[in-house]
Amino acid sequence: MDAIGALLVGVEAGVVPGDVFDEGAVLDATVPNWRFTTCGAEAVQAELSRWYAAPGRFEDLKRNGLPDGELIEFTLTWSEGGVAHMCHQAHILRLQDGLIASDTAFCGGRWPAPLIAEMVAARRDS
């Protein structure tokens, strides 16, 4: 399995593998009201492990090839403390020698069940 496929399997399992990242990997993350950068394979794996700490399921997953990697878009659902959660993210993953060298991530946030219900209701009302 390629590095991106292995990362996606890990995200869904709630266990982000460390062996998919290049030693000099960079995570450039835009999250609600913030943007930050994390450098180094261990640091990137540790940060993404906090994001995907529970087993989940892709409700939607799109993989689009790029000359040097992939553009990934997904909606992930999981349960945290007995509460259903969801997130919608896009990742531009660049490879170097078969490993993930950079991840430019865009995340709308982690949404608990009550907020998900509000979004569904707002969609129906529009």
Go through the domains of the chain in sequence order and give each one's CATH number.
3-125 (3.10.450.50)
Give pLDDT tens digits for 57-100.
999 999 999 999 999 999 999 998 998 999 999 999 999 999 99
pTM score: 0.91
- Which of the residue ranges 5-19, 76-90, 104-118 would you say has the lowest mean pLDDT? 104-118
Give pLDDT tens digits for 26-41.
999 999 999 999 999 9
- Closest-CA residue to 61 (of 83, 77, 50, 49): 77
CA–CA gap between residue 16 and residue 10 (Å, rounded)? 5
At residue 125, does pLDDT exceed 80? no
pLDDT band per the 50, 70, 90 thresholds, residue 126: low
